[in-house]
Amino acid sequence: MGKKIESFRVYGVNSLKTLTPSLDDLVGDQIVDLVAQDDARRVDVVCRVHVIAVDLERTGKMAALRETTAWSPAAGTPMPTGRMTFEDGTGLDFREPAKTKRITFAVRRR
């Protein structure tokens, strides 16, 4: 909480379920709350201006990153479904074990 978004990239081709507002509109927005459903399969990342609804499906995981940049195949790590980086150099990965990307993201204005 309190972190400002530097970038948010969705690498799963079918994972982004909204086009407006764009992911670039999230840059500079500050996270004010995380709201998880009882089963922790749905998480809302609540920012000052936007809400990012994340559906982790059955096997998806969120992982905090101590330091990060945008994902690249050259990094030699498995592709996340999505990666959010913050202005302080930390980040969040949204990952799942299968190559079929089932995690979904929907962005809306508050």
Q: pLDDT at position 75, please?
A: 82
How many C-alpha atoms does 110 have within 13 Å on its Cβ side?
14
**For the chain, how are helix, strand and coil distributed in percent, rounded to 5?**
5, 45, 50
Q: 48-96: per-residue pLDDT in tens?
A: 999 999 999 888 999 999 999 888 888 888 899 999 999 999 999 999 9
Confidence tier at 30 by pLDDT (50, 70, 90): very high
Distance of CA 92 to the CA centre of its chain: 6
Which domain does 46 fall in, by range?
Answer: 5-109
Q: What is the CATH number of the domain that holds 64?
A: 3.20.190.10
Report whether pLDDT(7) > 90: yes
- Give the mean pLDDT of 10-26: 94
Q: Cα(49)–Cα(37) distance, rounded to whole angstroms?
A: 21
The number of folded domains in the chain is 1
